[in-house]
Structure 1
Amino acid sequence: MKELKAIINAYDHLNPEKTKAAIATVVRVEGSSYRRTGARMLVMDDGVWIGGISGGCLEGDALKRARLAMAKSQPSLVTYDTTEDDQHQIGVGLGCNGVIDVLLTPLEIGNPNNPVEILKSCMTERRQTHILLTIIGLEDEYNDLRAGNMVRYTGPESLSVFGDRDLQQNIEKTIHNFTQKGRSRPATFGLADGRELEIFIEILPPEVHLVLMGHQYDVLPLARLVKEIGWRATVVANPQKIMQKLSSVADAIVTPAEFDSILIDEHTAIILMSHDFKTDKYNLPKVLKTAAAYVGMLGPRVRSEKIFDELAQEGIEISETDMERIHAPVGLDIGAISPEEIALSIVAEIRAVFSDRTGAALRLRTTPIHERD
């Protein structure tokens, strides 16, 4: 999400009278690759680019091809095959051992239907998961649609642009299947005239949101790390008690009395880190009423268990489902000591939980790092 925001910011500062631009998007990955589907790079005709589609091995070649696409005002789909044992093959030096398809789309700057404008509209709306359909394979045109066009899916009615009920139903069914798995990938559909339509179906969830409930000095390194990786940080504390530096790092600072005004969804993690037993005990039942998928509690296990016991004695039982959401002590076991290391431990565990991973060392993993088709 941080990269996407940087691309949109750079795009907003382009002068269409002086600069041409294109967007490069990874739309298919077979095998291993440093970046996955949905990775993007904004390319300008002066050779500057923002973002990335690989670990650095493909960007130079993609820049040349993107500038050619700009000159022709036509999108192109480029395949990089790094599985071949050929020293002249782009990407072999990285040892990717995969096949990557990259769509290069020239941008008509300011056109509300260009891909970056559509992405920008998604970023400015209320937090939700967006579904984007990009045509990556189509001979000639179909119902005024062509390769490079992006359609924002907002429901079955938004598929009317395809003009074919059977095609729309097939796309709708595929979107549902992909959404259930939370994966972005291409799909091919047959047209009534015998041609094939290939669409990159992208599932774009909102940025991860951390709600940090506390005002002590260890909130600052955690908020800083959250900002660095492109997540959103909201601090719940008395504004008069927080460090001045925190105001420039956090996306929002909310008083405890305004907690209910925070938009909390299944992409939100809440950390209880007030360092005050009574405060964390008071806040726990309140945060468990939200949709947050992750609730972390700072401090040793005995402290958390004492909070659970006292709440039970007061008639506030914590269900098994809620206990699965609670991570106490919060963080992964990496031997963290300093506030900065503890912040790293917490963020790493949140990423693992939201990715449905264990947080174990990759060298112990017996299957590919990323799920493959």
Structure 2
Amino acid sequence: MKELKAIINAYDHLNPEKTKAAIATVVRVEGSSYRRTGARMLVMDDGVWVGGISGGCLEGDALKRARLAMAKSQPSLVTYDTTEDDQHQIGVGLGCNGVIDVLLSPLKIGDPNNPVEILKSCMAERRQTHILLTIIGLEDEYNGLRAGNMLRYTGKESLNIFGEPGLQAQIEKTIQVFSEKGRSRPKTFTLPDGREAELFIEILPPEVHLVLMGHQYDVLPLARLVKEIGWRATVVANPQKIMQKLSSVVDEITPPAEFDSIMTDEHTAIILMSHDFKTDKYNLPKVLQTQAAYIGMLGPRVRSERIFDELSQEGIEISTTDRERIHAPVGLDIGAISPEEIALSILAEIRAVFSDRSGAALRLRTTPIHERD
């Protein structure tokens, strides 16, 4: 999400009278690759780019091809195959052993239907998962649609542009399957006239939202790291107790009395880190009423167990389901000592939980790092 924000910011500062631009999007990955589907790079005709589609090894070639697409005002689909021992193939020698398809789409700056403008509209809306359909393979046109066009899926009616109930039902079913898995990938459909259209179905969830309940000095390194990653950070504390440095790195500061006004969802993590037993005990039941998928409690296990016991004695039972959301002590076991290392431990665990991973060393993993078809 941080990369997408940077792309949009750069796009907003373009002068259409002086600069041409294109967006490069990874739409297919087979095998191993540094970046996954949905990775993007904004390319300008002066050789400047923002974002990335690889670890830096393909960007130079993509820049050249994007400038060619701009000159022709036509999108193109480029395949980088690092599995073949071909000296003329860009990417040979990387050792990635994968195939990557990149769609290069020239942009009409200011056109509300260009891909970056559509992404901007998604970012401007309230937190939700967006579904985008990009035509990456189509000969000529179909119902006014061409290769490179991006559509927002907002329900069955948004598929009416395809003009055929059977085709629309197939696309709808595929969207549901991809959405349930949270996976973005291409899919080929047969049009009523017999031609094939390949769509990149992209699942774009909102940024991770971290709610930090506390104002002590260890909130600052955690908030700084959140900003560096590109997540959203909200601090719940008395504004008068907040250090000035913290105000500059978080998105929002909310007084405790207004906690209920904070929007939470399954992409939200909340950390109880007031360093005050009574405060954390008071906040835990409130936090459990939210939709946050992850709840962390700073401090040793005996402290959290004492909070659970006292709440139980007061008639506030924590269900098994809620216990699964609570991570106490918070963070991964990496031997963290300093506030900065503890922040790293906490954010690593949140990322692992949201990715449904164990947080174990990758060298111990017996299957590919990223799920494959």
* Distance in structure 2 (CA, Å) of the matches to 1:244 and 1:93: 49
> Contact between 1:269 and 1:292, CA under 8 Å: does it hold in 2?
yes
Question: Aligned to 1:151, what secondary structure does the other structure show?
Answer: strand
Residues 1:166 and 2:162 aligned together: no
* Distance in structure 1 (CA, Å) of the matches to 2:259 and 2:288: 13
- Gap regions ≥5 residues in structure 1: none
Aligned to 2:255: 255
What code does the residue aligned with 1:110 have?
Answer: G
Deviations 1:127-149 (A, max 9, x none): 00000000000000000000000
Residues 1:222 and 2:222 aligned together: yes
* Distance in structure 2 (CA, Å) of the matches to 1:86 and 1:243: 57
* 1:132-151 → structure 2 map (5 Å cutoff): 132-151=132-151
* 1:16-27 → structure 2 map (5 Å cutoff): 16-27=16-27
Question: Aligned to 1:249, what secondary structure does the other structure show?
Answer: coil
* 1:1-373 → structure 2 map (5 Å cutoff): 1-373=1-373
* Distance in structure 1 (CA, Å) of the matches to 2:294 and 2:68: 46
Deviations 1:169-208 (A, max 9, x none): 1100000010011000000000111100100000000000
What code does the residue aligned with 1:320 have?
Answer: T
What code does the residue aligned with 1:208 have?
Answer: V
Question: Aligned to 2:194, what secondary structure does the other structure show?
Answer: coil
Shift of 1:348: 0.1
* Distance in structure 1 (CA, Å) of the matches to 2:129 and 2:167: 23
* Distance in structure 1 (CA, Å) of the matches to 2:136 and 2:224: 38
Deviations 1:218-252 (A, max 9, x none): 00000000000000000000011111100000100
RMSD after superposition: 0.6
Give the TM-score taking structure 1 as reference length.
0.99
* Distance in structure 2 (CA, Å) of the matches to 1:104 and 1:88: 21
* Distance in structure 2 (CA, Å) of the matches to 1:47 and 1:96: 26
> Contact between 1:57 and 1:93, CA under 8 Å: does it hold in 2?
no
Question: Aligned to 1:303, what secondary structure does the other structure show?
Answer: helix
What code does the residue aligned with 1:279 have?
Answer: T
Shift of 1:92: 2.3
> Contact between 1:330 and 1:346, CA under 8 Å: does it hold in 2?
yes
* Distance in structure 1 (CA, Å) of the matches to 2:20 and 2:211: 40
Deviations 1:76-129 (A, max 9, x none): 000000001234421223211100000000000000000000000000000000
> Contact between 1:143 and 1:161, CA under 8 Å: does it hold in 2?
yes
* Distance in structure 1 (CA, Å) of the matches to 2:94 and 2:302: 47
* Distance in structure 2 (CA, Å) of the matches to 1:89 and 1:333: 43
What code does the residue aligned with 2:244 have?
Answer: Q
* Distance in structure 2 (CA, Å) of the matches to 1:86 and 1:301: 56
Deviations 1:27-68 (A, max 9, x none): 000000000000000000000000000001100000000000
Structure 1 segments, 4+ long, off by >3 Å, are none
* Distance in structure 1 (CA, Å) of the matches to 2:19 and 2:164: 38
Question: Aligned to 2:240, what secondary structure does the other structure show?
Answer: coil
* Distance in structure 2 (CA, Å) of the matches to 1:93 and 1:258: 55
